[in-house]
Structure 1
Amino acid sequence: MTGSAIPETPLYDRQGSIRGYKLNKMAMSLGRPENREAFKADEEAFLDSYGLSAEEKAAVMSRNWHDMVALGGNLFFILKIAAIDPAVMTEIGAAQAQMDHADFLKQRLGKE
């Protein structure tokens, strides 16, 4: 992975897009109602149908947003996964920053 200006922050570049192709293709498919239903019905089988690696599957199934991006997931695509649960956007931001949600709200957004 190419370095970035912020330590521990994955950089989405050409290599990342190639690396994350299957993950991003799966996430984009969730724009279709029938795919969302298949995902909800049997998440692991749905992920297998896109050929995701064990590491990618683990990141998706645990909703580890930071790992999904580190594995080449485009944030705009993987947010489609967040729409299924649904996840709070600030929780995803905290995960990306590798911070506790309460600390993220306080330090980054000035909220108590």
Structure 2
Amino acid sequence: MGEDPSSDRIPDTPLFDRKRSLRGYRINKMAMGLGTPANREAFRENESAYLDRFGLTPEEKEAVMSRNWREMVRLGGNLFFILKISAVDPVRITEIGAHQAGMEHADFLRDRLGKK
């Protein structure tokens, strides 16, 4: 009681709240579509055209096409949904974690996961 709710926030980490969820509707709908084999094939064949089908903004398209995981989350992408993109590439989840933390992959493995 009487605690400051902002004390639960992690610095430099976007809070996935209702506002961000609504903001990320297009990017999340696009990512969920990648659960279908035909959509994965369309994504591989012409990524830009696939993204246009979902009405992504230029900012959202750039984040997806450059695989800027941090920006996708900032724009409202739910990590569980945008991970579907990594299944098409494929990208290891630890690489995404390193990108989110602003670290090199080897440093992330060593410093965050204790792997040598």
Give me the TM-score of the superposition, normalised by structure 1: 0.94
* Cα RMSD, aligned residues only: 1.5
What is the alpha-carbon distance in structure 1 between the residues aligned to residue 77 and residue 105 of structure 2?
21
Please tell me the residue identity of whatever aligns with 1:82: S
Residue correspondences, number: 111
Matched residue of 1:7: which SS? coil
Corresponding residue for residue 11 of structure 1: 15
Unaligned stretches of 5+ residues in structure 2? 1-5
Instruction: Name structure 1 gaps, 5 residues minimum.
Output: none
After TM superposition, the structure 1 = structure 2 runs for residues 1-112 of structure 1, keeping only pairs within 5 Å, are 5-112=9-116
**Structure 1 residue 3: Cα displacement:** 8.9
- Using the alignment, how far apart are the partners of 1:95 and 1:6 within structure 2? 16
Counterpart-to-counterpart distance in 1, 2:96 and 2:42: 23
Letter in 1 for 2:42: A
Question: How far, CA to CA, are the matches of 2:7 and 2:74 in structure 1?
Answer: 12
Deviation at 1:111, TM superposition (A): 1.5
| Aligned-partner residue type, residue 87 of structure 2 | A
Task: Give per-residue Cα distances to partners, 1:15-74, cap 9 Å, x unaligned.
Answer: 111000000000000101111111011000110111001111011011111110010000
What percentage of residue pairs aligned between the two structures are identical? 66
Letter matched to residue 84 of structure 1: V
